[in-house]
Amino acid sequence: MKRASTSTIELLSFLSIASAALVNKKDVSKWLKLTCLSVGDAPERCEEVASRPSWGARKKVLQALHGFAEVYRRRPISFNFGGMNLNHIFSMWYTVYSLQPRVVVESGVWRGQGTWFIRQAAPSARIICVDPGNKYGLKYRDPNATYLWGKGREGPKLYNFHDIGEVDWNREELIPDAETRSHTLFILDDHQSAIKRMMQLMRPWGFRHFWYEDNWSRGPADCYSFATLCARDPPVEGSLEDASIRKLYDQARVTLFPTAEVVYRDNFNRVKIAITRDEHEANVAFLLGHIDAYFECPAYMMCVPAAPFSRAADKGPPFGRSCPSRRRWTRSSQTTRAQICLARWEACSATS
């Protein structure tokens, strides 16, 4: 399929091997099973029409791991419960570090961990943080960032929240310059439909670069992701035969749909409808017609930190395609566990 000559985008996505705070062995085991279910198919359809960015080469990524380990040791939140942790943070940090965008828009801030890593990766970039707010508040606030946060309070660099799909980006305090918008990176950690975000941000505003965190394909997904769009055969719920696995889905409150339909999810799974294969293929066609580069960052550190004890996955394959084995780490320091994971993956990749 011929790609569009204008308004091309760079989609920077991450295979979602999630971290979670777990409190007992039963929860650990259940989460790891669901994590394995979430590992989707290779993004073959996107890779057929889109190139991998030069900085996505394994050698360059491995070289960056050492610098990242030093940054990670200084993070403001030791374990970011409910937000990004080791794998996802590395993927985001490395993307920002490699692109060096003029502006970074972070949609989904949670407690500020991601903002801090963005600043470490691109010290001179403008950062715009967009979040409806939460009861915990920000643990880290960047003094130079612009915030669209919550409601009712405005001040210097602080404005009321508006969803990024509804924001007037021509506002003077945002990104009024079209050329700057083409050098802006969106960090999408807001559990929204990928195709919806493309249509909201690419066509009307000319944004081209996106990093998408919630890239679930199978398992307890809550949004219609790039991983779903890029898969050769879209994951269709309802085809599971194993009763024990079906029970896990029920426990995760995942609705099973007929196998002839694809599930369209949006807004933290608040929108959940079955669409036909033809409708899904129309979405795929739109994506493939505008994509320029696509990269799913490997899950380099297959660790699942937990409290009060930690259960971690053993070293995984370069692109996390199979279900990892499990190992109990006895060391208490998360920084130490991160270093162990880094060393183990480097040893693995060096011999693979």
Q: What is the mean pLDDT of residues 10-25?
A: 31
Predicted local confidence at residue 77, as pLDDT: 92
Residue 311 in 3-state DSSP? strand
Amino acid at the residue 291: I
For residues 146 and 172, is the Cβ–Cβ distance under 8 A? no
Report residue 115 as tokens: 């903002």
Q: How would you classify the pairing of strands 158-159 and 146-149? A: parallel
pLDDT of residue 2: 32
Is pLDDT above 80 for 292?
A: yes
Whole-model pTM above 0.95?
no
pLDDT, residue 138, reads: 93
Alpha carbon distance 134, 328 (integer Å)? 33
Q: Is 308 within 8 Å of 23 (Cβ atoms)?
A: yes
pLDDT at 100 over 70: yes
Rounded average pLDDT over 53-74: 89
Q: How many angstroms separate the CA atoms of 244 and 23, rounded?
A: 22
Query: Can you read off the two tokens belonging to residue 288?
Result: 């493939």
Which residue's structure tokens are 């085809």?
Answer: 239
Section 239-243 average pLDDT: 43
Phi, psi for residue 239 in degrees, rounded to 5: -100, 5
Residue 104 is inside which H or E element, if any? strand 103-107
Span 268-287, average pLDDT: 92
Residue type at 195 in one-letter notation: I
pLDDT of residue 194: 96
DSSP track, 217-274 = -SSS--S--HHHHHSSS---TT----HHHHHHHHHTTPPP--TTSEEEEETTTTEEEE
Average pLDDT, the chain: 74
- The pLDDT, as a whole number, for residue 15 is 24
Dump pLDDT digits (tens) for 299-322: 765 443 332 222 233 333 333 333
Question: Encoding tokens for residue 9?
Answer: 């985008």
Q: Report the pLDDT value the prediction gives residue 149, as an integer from 0 to 100.
A: 94
How does DSSP assign 108-121, residue by residue? --TTSHHHHHHHHH
Q: For tokens 């915030």, what's the residue? A: 147
Q: Which of 81, 122, 114, 112 is nearest to 14 (CA)?
A: 114
Average of pLDDT values for 150-158?
83
Integer Cα distance of 208 and 113 in angstroms: 24
Residue 39 has pLDDT above 90, yes or no: no
Q: What would the two tokens of residue 61 be?
A: 């990524």
Q: Which residue has the higher pLDDT, 253 or 49?
A: 49
